[in-house]
Structure 1
Amino acid sequence: MFSLKRQTGNKAENLALQYLKENGLELIQQNYLTKLGEIDVIMLDKLEQTLVFVEVRYRANTHFGSASNTVDNAKQAKLIRTAEVFLQKHPEYDDFICRFDVVGLEFDLKYPKIDWIKDAFETP
């Protein structure tokens, strides 16, 4: 049985995925897992010919900062390394621009506040 935290995380990811689809992105892969880390959602922005690596974060309250602000430098580095592995294994995306987005969901997941930060950070 999934833990409550994992169930909540899955629900937040699915809400973020639906939100991104409604805003024109197309799903390539969800929960891409390697030895180096995980990318929650990988999507394609066909209008911009961009491959989008998305980190989804959820916070029930914002006493200690927003959900989006929890993606620190260490997490960014892990996402970048994991994206590099994905790109090595999927040469069909060689000609695409890559972007790292963060989707933060806050408060009640029935009616969450969604904060989509496009191009949240760049590779060094």
Structure 2
Amino acid sequence: MGALAEEAAWGYLQRQGLQLVERNYRVRGGEIDIIARLPSGMLVFVEVRSRASAAYGGAGASVDARKRARILLAARHYLMRFPAEMACRFDVVAIEAGALRWIENAFDAGDG
């Protein structure tokens, strides 16, 4: 289900004009599902979450403090390897019962 959700999320983001930089960027202790660039040049780190229903807070709420910390760790590692001259942000694509919702600026680096 995770791979299908990531494919759906990437298809949607691509239609919104984002350009793929990297998928499934993994480091010890963290991972980022999608790293993409907006037409403005801004770097976007995207977490994809999928749930069968909105029960227990749904897909968006499942990006808790622990998950954010893992994403931030991977993002910091990525930025040390590939410094970005433009700003960056953290988005979440939440898929619940087949409905996709793109949450821009879902959290910031201070949330980890």
Q: TM-score range by the shorter chain?
A: over 0.9
Residue segments in structure 1 that go unaligned for 5+ positions in a row: 1-7
Once residues 102 and 25 of structure 1 are traced to their aligned partners in structure 2, the CA distance between those partners, rounded to angstroms, is 14
Partner residue in 1 for 2:56: 64
Partner residue in 2 for 1:34: 27
Once residues 25 and 50 of structure 1 are traced to their aligned partners in structure 2, the CA distance between those partners, rounded to angstroms, is 10
Residue segments in structure 2 that go unaligned for 5+ positions in a row: none
Matched residue type, 2:79? L
Matched residue type, 1:74? R
Partner residue in 1 for 2:93: 103
Partner residue in 1 for 2:71: 79
Match of 1:114 among 91, 97, 100: 100
| Alpha-carbon shift at residue 46 of structure 1 (Å) | 2.1
SS, match of residue 67 in structure 1: helix
Partner residue in 2 for 1:123: 109
Partner residue in 2 for 1:4: none
TM-score normalized by the length of structure 1: 0.85
Once residues 39 and 55 of structure 2 are traced to their aligned partners in structure 1, the CA distance between those partners, rounded to angstroms, is 37
Once residues 40 and 51 of structure 1 are traced to their aligned partners in structure 2, the CA distance between those partners, rounded to angstroms, is 14
Matched residue type, 2:90? F
Matched residue type, 1:12? A
Once residues 55 and 80 of structure 2 are traced to their aligned partners in structure 1, the CA distance between those partners, rounded to angstroms, is 40
Larger gyration radius, structure 1 or structure 2: 1
Q: Number of residues paired by the alignment?
A: 110
SS, match of residue 12 in structure 1: helix
| Cα RMSD, aligned residues only | 0.9
Structure 1 segments (4+ residues) deviating >2 Å: none
Task: Percent identity, please.
Answer: 41
TM-score normalized by the length of structure 2: 0.94
